[in-house]
Structure 1
Amino acid sequence: MSDHTNETIERQYEEYLPPIWKNLNVPIRRASGVTVEDFDGNEYLDAFSGISVTNVGHNNEAVVDAAKTQLEEFVHGCSYVHPNAPVADLAERLAGETPGDLKKTFFCNSGTEAVEGAIKLARKYTGSKEVISLEMGFHGRTLGSLALTGNRAYKNGMTPTINDVSHVEPPYGYRCPSCDGDICSVDCAENVERVIGTHTAGDLAAIVVEPVMGEGGIVVPPTGWLERVREIAHEHDALLIADEVQTGYGRTGELWAVDHFDVVPDIITQAKGIANGLPLGAFTAREEVADAFESGDHLSTFGGNPVACAAAMATIDELHDGIIDNAREQGAWLGDELAALESEFDVVGDARGLGLMRGLEIVDPAMDGPRGVAPEPDSKLAKRVADRLRDDGVVVGVGGYYSNVLRLQPPLSIERSQLERVVVGVRSALETEVDR
């Protein structure tokens, strides 16, 4: 690495709060499409999209042009003080783009804020306080959203301010002790009913789930699971909140991940891919639910920023102009290729995902895993494989509850030849690192 590259890394480690612990050590000077470039001029194929954000490609021309045009008009007016066309246009667009009868949208700046706001709205609408979320799930890092997150590693000594949260076993087929096998069934959803009966006080406001668990390791629920969770929520006069912060905007090969399961939630949270990298978050609710908020119940100074809203409109147009179709087509091909890697390498315990949201779970086949279900997770090998890929010019993520899942979430505009390079790189990295 050049002195400039090393200096950039060192300055961010030394002067940035908090200390960086998931840094890929690929400083970005510029980016375009599916590639990023460091300060030495080295190009990397980005198969992670800044954690599933640049869905229509880095520096997408239409998105950049929309943002520039709006920048020349005005940058800020606080959409909750000054009505303006960009926020009105996007709210109207989302009423038509979100599933079923979801209609009214609140705009904020991030996925975490969207989750916090959705919980407030559910509590206001139902008059209840308790919330259920999934073990191993992730919903943000503020104290409220952190209470929903089912992973101690993210909480790190914090005491969440929302105390009325219970967690239920996730539909994690590969490591599901309830199903005693590789395939979860809809019966796993009955764990939600069990938790309501044993861990709550009968004051349930909402059940919050990621339709596909991202930070949890690209966990896809079985057919019927999400439908049954919605039924259980409604049977207890609670709402179903679908956290689509990571899964939305075409990531799974449909505009929304819930579309794979034919489920219409009561509230849907959004961020990441919504504006292709500009900071914007949102939650959209049924009109009856949304109207529970009165003026002043919730507000965001920068929420609905007109530049970000203009970028979001362009992003949605780009998604519908063939990019979602590409995610579906390339994702199906990638799924087959990763399944072949699972068959080829004993250390690949499970290949899973939807669309271009894919994961490879890396394991030690010689060791039994937690509770005797599936082999031992091998986080060290997963990191070595990811590091090897980076050194070969391909950026992937590593995540999952056990930090042993290679996460492949490239821009949805990726071409087959570029995706082939990713697969070849993964195979080569596995061959190199397995016996080290």
Structure 2
Amino acid sequence: MPSRRNRVGLLARVNFPLYTIQMLDSRHILVGGGGGSANTGISNGFEIFELSHDGWNFIAERVTGHKTDASVVMNCASYNDGKRIWLVAGQESHCQLYNVKSTIVPLENGELLKNTTTTVGGSNNSDGLSGDKLRQRRKSERIDEKIESLKQDDNANFTHKKLQFILQPSISIQTDFTASEPLQRIVRISPNGKLMATGGLDGVIRLWKFPHLEKLHDLKAHTKEIDDIDFNSDGNFVATISKDGRAIIWNAIKGIKTDELSWNTSGNAKYVYKRLRYRIRNEKKSKDQLFTLSNATSSKNSSYLQLWDIEQGTIIKSASFNETLSAMAVSDDGKFVAVGTMFSGTIDIFIAFSLQRVLHVPGAHSMFVTGLEFLPIQLNGPSITSNSEAAVVSISVDNKICIHSIPFRHTLPFWLVIILIILSICGAFIFCSFMGI
């Protein structure tokens, strides 16, 4: 597939609505979604793109596709330890673990070999249940063996090679036990890769050892469905929000509640938290800070992006919006936070510590923003060299993948500012003496 050049932020289009986005490494991004189990003709699954920059624009080139049959992908999380990549994805009531393996495949006449984008093993073929609703997927013929056999085909004319990702389904665990139509709503992996948290319609937060997916704790956290989960920098604490309007901080190791966030609203207006993300700590002694998106239950009231001091349980900064908020991401260096809106498809990027808006992209998508992800700076592998200080990728149910970047902010060194001030003062005195003032 040819490269997709950036036109007004557009990176690529896919043929299904998008709901979730993850960076696999510093250059490869995964998006997931689909049309659901109904016979709509819209596929379900993942697409992986390689990102680059040509000096003017960001470019996305499709690398791999993976179908999940009748299961739409509404949420996922990934972990890269520098040697291996794991992916976990919500597929209805279960969480599916994938081993993401990279390989070099040949190109035939400038195109990827057909059928090399299918995965090893079917995502819906179950060998039955064992343990705590544990399902082991059957594995089909290995793709790398097929590629190796094709390499030996004298009729094949391979002139180029390409990095390819293979998603190998491993185990699947049930994570939501709602009596009617159970559904996993969110999954997160701790930054140290030791824990995984899931939440669904039943309001229970389940903590698991990762990547073995052994149950640790059932946190009967909320009375309604879970909207979001996030771990702090060291993975010892996890924050959760739900449609019951509560935001709770938990000790992830002990499985106990440590705090609950609350704030006084003006005029007794009612608010519900929509998204939350910890701000990454660059120093071990620094305090945990948490971003939340809060939407008013009445359209007459503003929505808010809020920065919390977790230790004090107070709001440090906030920024107001005139419409409902739907998505959020924080850069891995903790410098920027991005927000997406529900109705206008607008993207805003703020400086994290001050919540000063540095980029406003109205109508970035024609429908509500479902996911945001900053291009990483600290993730494994060389980062993309560009003319931007930061860039965030956005997705929506409009099938589009877009990117929005912040040019480097040019500032003068402090010593040069002092010299210019001194020269200006001296110049003013000289001018006044010359004029006899």
TM-score range (shorter-chain normalised) is under 0.3
Higher relative contact order (CA 8 A, sep 6+): 1
**What TM-score does the superposition give when structure 2 sets the normalisation length?**
0.24
Larger Rg: 2
**What TM-score does the superposition give when structure 1 sets the normalisation length?**
0.24
Larger strand proportion of the pair: 2
